[in-house]
Structure 1
Amino acid sequence: MSFKTILCIVGMKVGDTDLKSAVDLCAENNAHLSVLVISLASPPPIGDYASTISDAWLEERQQDLQQLEKRTKKIKMFLNEAGISASVSSEYAEFVSVAGEIGRHARYSDLTFVGPEVLKSEVLKSKVVEGALFESGKPALIAPSGTTPTLTPKHVLLAWDSRVEAARAAREALDMLIKADDVHLTLVDPDASSAMNGPEPGADVGAYLARHGVKVFVDRLPSGGNPVADVLNQHAVDIAADLMVMGGYGHSRLRERVFGGVTKSMIDAPKFPILMAR
C-alpha cells in the first residue's frame, strides 16, 4: 500500500532527530506528517502520605501541562518552516493508557515511525511499539541510529515464517517490494514437513509475490544454532539490504517478554530499518 499519512511520536525528554527524519520521509513520499507529542503523567500519590503530597503532585501536573504546551508550540513552528503537510496534537497520558492513546492516533495513519530518539527511551519505546503494533492494526517503521529510513528501498530482506503476521507485513510492504531491485524472501531453519511451509518452504509465497511483479529470491538459511535475529541481520548485511520487512510478535507478548524472541531481539537492538506489522 502507499503511505500517505505517517505518524511520529515525540516525547518530552528526547531530541528532535526523529522529527527531522520523519519530515524527510514525508517529503520523499509526498506524505502528510502527523505528530503526536506525548507527556507521561506521574501516578497519583497513594498511602499514608497521599494527603500531604497531593498539592505538590497537582503542581507537578500543572507544570507538565505547561511544558507540553510549550513543546507542542515549538514543534508547530518547526513544521511550519519544513514545507510539508503536517499536523500536531498532544496527549498528557497516564502510564496505563498511553499505548491506547498512541494506537488511537496510529489508526488514522498508514505508518508509525519509530526513530532512534524513541528507541533509546525504554519506557517510551515499549509504549510506542505496543500502541503501534497491538492497538492500531497498522505497521511501524523502526529506524535505529545511524541508518537512513526509506520507503523506496532497493534491496529488501523479507523475513518469512509462514505466520499470519509475516503475511500482513508482506501485504503492507507490497508496493515497496514491487518497486525494489530485489527482494530476498528469507527463511531460517524452515521445516519442510510443516503444514504451514509445505514441501518446498517459501515457494508458495515466492510465487504469490512474483505474480505481483516482485523480483524475488528465496533464501533458505540454516541457523547453525545461532539466534534467528543474528542470522537475519547477517544476511541483511550480505545482501546490502536497506530495509527489512517482518511480522511482529508471532508469540504472545508475555511469552516474548519472559523467554525472548525474534521480535524482541529486533526491537531491542535493531541494525537496519525494519517495517514491522502484526
Structure 2
Amino acid sequence: MGFRSVLCVTGSDHSDKDVKTVAGLCAEVGAYLSVLVMSPPPLVMPSPLLGDGIPEWPRQRAPAIARLEKRYRQIETFSQDMASLEKTSREIQKLLRATSLCYDVDTDYCDEADVGDAVRQRAHCTDLTIVGPALLNDNDLGPLVINGSLFDTGKPVLVVPKGAEATLSPRRVLVGWDSRVEASRAVREALDLLSRAEEVRVALVDPEATCTGNGAEPGADIAAYLTRHGAQVSVDRLASAGKPVATVLAQHAIDTSADMIVMGAYGSRRLRERLFGGVTRWIVGKPPLPLFLAR
C-alpha cells in the first residue's frame, strides 16, 4: 500500500519551500497533493450588545473612542491577514500549475483551538501528512498541525527538517524498535517504504529478552514480519552507555548512512506539545534526516 494522497500544511507567512518539497515527493510516487494554507489565529471580537440587542454606550467619551479604535485596528488586521492568505493561495496554485501533479489548494482562517480540527478533517482523507522545515520551526502552528494529523487521526507524519534530502523511496531505512504498539504502527504505516528499500536496519537500544515484550531474541519477530513482506532486514542491538535513546539512534543513522528513520510517536494528550518540542530539539544538532512518525 503506497502513499496515494498527501497533505501539506503551510502558513500564510511561510515561504513556498515546504510546498515545493512536498510537491517533489508527490511527483516521485505519483501521489495526489492537498495543500492547506492556514493563517494566524483571527481577532477576538466579543460582542458589546446587551440582552435587548442595543449597545451600551459608556458614560464617558474617552473609553468609547478607545474601544472603537481598538475594534478598528482588529478589523484592519483581519483584512490584512485575509489578503495575505489569499495571496499565498494564489502563489501556490501558480506554482503547482507548472507541475504535472493532481492537486487542490484550500485555505482556513480559524481560531487556535480549531486548527487541530481543521487539519484532522483533511488528514482523515489522506495517507500521509508531511511537515516541512518552515512549519517545523513555527512554534505556534507546528504543534497544532502535529496534534491534528498524528494524534487525532492515527495517520503517519513525515517530518522533513532543513537540509534533509527527503524521498519517499529511501534506499536505507533505520527502524527504531521497542516492541510497543506505537512502533508497530509506524512499521505498518511505512511498510511500502520498507519493502522497497535496499536495506532496513531494525535498531533496539538496551533490549531485554522477555517472554512478553521483546521475546527471547529481541528484534527477531519484527525482522521476520518485514522479511515476509519482502524487506531486506538486519537487526542491530545497541548499548546506550547512559546516552538518551534518540542520541543513540541518531548516531547509528549516521554510521549506517540511513536515508530515513522510522519510529513510533509516544505521549499522552498532555504531552503533545512536549512531543513536538522533543522532535524539534532532537533534530537540532542531529543529522538532517526525514523522520517518519506514527502512533
TM-score, length of structure 2 as denominator length: 0.87
- CA–CA separation in structure 1 for the residues paired with 2:201 and 2:95: 39
Q: Which residue of 2 aligns with 1:243?
A: 260
- How far off is 1:238 after superposition? 0.7
Alignment partner of 2:270 out of 250, 254, 269: 254
- Provide the rounded CA distance (Å) in 1 between the counterparts of 2:279 and 2:79: 38
> 1:272 matched to which residue of 2?
289
Which deviations, in whole Å up to 9, do the C-alpha atoms of 1:156-199 show, x marking residues without a partner?
Answer: 00111111111111011111111111101111111223622122
Shift of 1:141: 0.8
Deviation at 1:14, TM superposition (A): 1.3
Say which is worse superposed, 266-275 or 8-17, in terms of deviation.
266-275
1:198 counterpart = 2:219? no
Larger deviation: 62-71 or 106-115?
62-71
Letter in 2 for 1:23: A
Residue 247 (structure 1) shift: 0.8
1:3 is matched with which residue?
3
- Name 1:127's counterpart in structure 2: 144
CA contact (8 A) 1:104 1:135 kept: no
The match for 1:13 is: 13
The SS at the match of 1:3 is: coil
- Alpha-carbon distance change, 193 to 2 in structure 1, aligned in 2, over 3 angstroms: same
In the aligned structure 2, how far is the partner of 1:34 from the partner of 1:83? 14
2:178 to 158, 161, 164: 161
- Contact 2:42–2:109 at 8 Å: present in 1 too? no
Counterpart of 1:234 in structure 2 is 251
Q: Report % sequence identity.
A: 43
Distance 2:85 2:271 in 1: 35
Task: Supply the distance in 2 between the matched residues of 1:205 and 1:264 (Cα, whole angstroms).
Answer: 29
Q: Distance in 2 between matches of 1:54 and 1:135?
A: 35
Structure 2: stretches of 5+ with no match in the other structure: 49-62
SS at match of 1:93: coil
Residue in 1 that maps onto 2:224:
207
Aligned equivalents of 2:128, 2:67: Cα separation in 1:
44
User: Does structure 1 retain, via aligned residues, the 8 Å contact 2:43–2:78?
Assistant: no
Q: Matches of 1:186 and 1:254 in 2, distance apart? A: 28
The answer to whether the 8 Å contact 1:179/1:214 transfers is: yes
In 2, distance between residues paired with 1:193 and 1:255? 28
Moved more, 220-229 or 47-56: 47-56
Among 59, 63, 69, the alignment partner of 2:76 is: 59
Q: Aligned runs of 1:138-177 on 2, under 5 Å?
A: 138-177=155-194
For 2:217 and 2:268, locate their aligned partners in 1 and report how far apart those are by CA, in whole Å. 28
| Cα contact 2:13–2:84 (8 A) shared by 1 | no
Q: Which residue of 2 aligns with 1:96?
A: 113
Q: Is the 8 A contact 2:186 2:294 kept in 1?
A: yes
Larger-Rg structure: 2
The aligned amino acid for 2:259 is D
Q: Deviations over 1:229-254 (max 9, x none)?
A: 100000000110001111111x3243
The answer on 1:107 being equivalent to 2:120 is no
**RMSD between superposed Cα atoms in Å:** 2.1
Partner residue of 1:184 out of 191, 201, 205: 201
Residue type at the aligned position of 1:210: T
Shift, 1:131, TM fit: 1.4
Question: CA shift at 1:255, angstroms?
Answer: 4.4
- Give the superposition deviation at 1:269: 3.4
Uncovered stretches (5+) of structure 1, i.e. residues with no partner = none
Q: Distance in 2 between matches of 1:150 and 1:35?
A: 18
The CA deviation string for residues 104-137 of structure 1, in whole angstroms up to 9 with x for no partner, is 1111111111111111111122112111211222
CA contact (8 A) 1:246 1:277 kept: yes
Greater displacement, 125-134 / 190-199? 190-199
2:55 corresponds to 1:42: no
Contact 2:209 2:216 in 1 (8 A): yes
Checking the alignment, whether the CA contact within 8 Å between 1:112 and 1:132 is kept in structure 2 is yes
Is contact 2:16–2:92 with CA below 8 Å preserved after alignment? no
Compared CA separation, residues 65 and 255, structure 1 to 2 (3 A): closer
Residue matched to 2:56: none
Q: Distance in 2 between matches of 1:40 and 1:218?
A: 45
Amino acid at match of 1:107: H
Name which of structure 1's ranges 66-75 and 37-46 shifts more when overlaid on structure 2.
37-46
DSSP 3-state at the match of 1:191: coil
CA distance in 2, matches of 1:83, 1:215: 33
